[in-house]
Amino acid sequence: MRPEQWEVFKKAARLEKLDTIPMALIIDSPWIPGYLGLNHMDYFLDPELWFQSNLKIHNEYPDIIFVPSWWMEYGMAAEPSALGAKIKFWQNNTPSEYHTLYHIEDIESFPEYEVETDAFMGMTLHRIRMHRQRILDAGEILPLVTSRGPLCTAGFVRSTTEFMIDIVEKPKWAHKLIGLCTELIIDWLKAQQKAMGDTVEGIFILDDIVGFINEEHYMEFAHPYLKKICDAFPKDWVKIYHNDANVDACLDHLPDCGFNVLNWGKQTDYAEAKARVGNRMCLMGNVNPLEIGVRGTPEAVREATLEVLEKSGGEGIILSVGGGTSPGMPRENIIAMQQALAEFNGLHSEARFSATKT
């Protein structure tokens, strides 16, 4: 992400008036290696290949804001690995995690974590420090620190099914696990901030497991912990929340956590999200990422993009897919989104010009 792109993103996040709607995509290890025809293991373990891959993507799409910008991550491994989850690496797929907390009560005997040295957190921080100056020298910045959220991390460590049962049957222990994950995440984000330097002005939290619980459980087991994370960082920072599961239970409450940008999935229509969030959050979305973004024709992508833009009314939106960029999304469909946005921006610029003249 270039400095001027970050300035645009910040203005959009704060619901300031912009001349044109920006486009942003979340890109990470599920999409980049496949798009470039790379072996996943090489992408993760070859530092030069990782750098050149990200540089190529940024140069290929100079008008797209990539979030969080040069994301150094090992799939979803970093957060759960620091709490002892087993991580599996694959030649042609993103790493996967396997839970190791078979009895939630065993959390009492967990060793203390150390984000600077534990598992893939330590490796990630090393890679950030290794490439930070090269990224800056390329004219890009690192404005966002990123983490999976507390429920997501708890589900990786405990297993999502068992964790959902714990929320109902062992709520005291569920709170202990979520509390530990929350402290880990705050420390992890601050460690990234230290490694990245003074270009950091925001946080990016991804937690799909929030979409698996009802509103009552959200208010008890998710909301206070998400708010604690937001409150741990400066009030004027940009705070992005991603959840491409169902956001129905949390949608009305997310602005009160401190988030000001929401990237959500296809389950909730743009018009409904806008009606419920109002002017309290910027909406980053939500073209269907799989059925349209990956499997659709460029014309289908164009139509879906224009539909989302029309529902936005041209305000309070950062155009994106409804979630991260899915593996297999082709170049022609990304270009189709860009062209549809240019068409929409052009029409709205003409309309504003005409209104000014009259």
pLDDT above 70 covers what percent of the chain?
97
- Alpha carbon distance 145, 6 (integer Å): 14
- Alpha carbon distance 48, 69 (integer Å): 17
The pLDDT assigned to 355 comes to 54
Would you state the torsion angle of the CA atoms of residues 329, 333, 339, 340, taken in this order, to the nearest 10 degrees? -90
Residue 271 has pLDDT above 70, yes or no: yes
The pLDDT assigned to 352 comes to 58
Q: Which CATH number is 3-357 given?
A: 3.20.20.210
- Alpha carbon distance 303, 280 (integer Å): 27
* Closest to 266 (Cα-Cα) out of 284, 283, 245: 245
Average model confidence (pLDDT) across the chain: 95
Domain ranges of the chain: 3-357
284: pLDDT confidence band, cut at 50, 70 and 90?
very high
- Alpha carbon distance 63, 47 (integer Å): 25
Mean pLDDT across the stretch 142-151? 98
Residue type, 304: A
* Closest to 312 (Cα-Cα) out of 2, 23, 4, 10: 23
* Closest to 137 (Cα-Cα) out of 55, 227, 236, 238: 55
Q: Give the sign of the dihedral formed by CA 226, CA 75, CA 69, CA 136.
A: positive
Encode pLDDT of 14-64 as tens digits: 999 999 999 999 999 899 999 999 999 999 999 999 999 999 999 999 999
Residue 143 has pLDDT above 70, yes or no: yes
The pLDDT assigned to 339 comes to 98
The pLDDT assigned to 77 comes to 93
- At 30 the three-state DSSP class reads coil
Structural contact between residues 146 and 68, judged by C-beta atoms closer than 8 angstroms:
yes
Encode pLDDT of 212-267 as tens digits: 999 999 999 999 999 999 999 999 999 999 999 999 999 999 999 999 999 999 99
Residue 351 has pLDDT above 70, yes or no: no
Structure tokens at 169: 């049957």
Encode pLDDT of 163-189 as tens digits: 999 999 999 999 999 999 999 999 999
Report the interhelical angle of 171-196 vs 119-137 (nearest 10°).
30
* Closest to 181 (Cα-Cα) out of 302, 280, 261, 99: 99
Residue with tokens 């030649």: 91
Structure tokens at 138: 């390329």
- Alpha carbon distance 325, 303 (integer Å): 18
What Cα–Cα distance (Å) separates residue 39 from each residue in 74, 173, 325, 350? 14, 40, 18, 46
- Find how far residue 356's CA is from the centre of its chain: 38
206: pLDDT confidence band, cut at 50, 70 and 90?
very high
Q: Which pTM does this prediction carry?
A: 0.96
Structure tokens at 170: 């062992």
Structural contact between residues 273 and 251, judged by C-beta atoms closer than 8 angstroms:
yes
Q: Give the sign of the dihedral formed by CA 111, CA 171, CA 209, CA 316.
A: negative
* Closest to 13 (Cα-Cα) out of 198, 199, 259, 272: 259
Residue 354 has pLDDT above 70, yes or no: no
Mean pLDDT across the stretch 326-339? 98
The pLDDT assigned to 347 comes to 87
Q: In residues, how long is the chain? A: 358
356: pLDDT confidence band, cut at 50, 70 and 90?
low
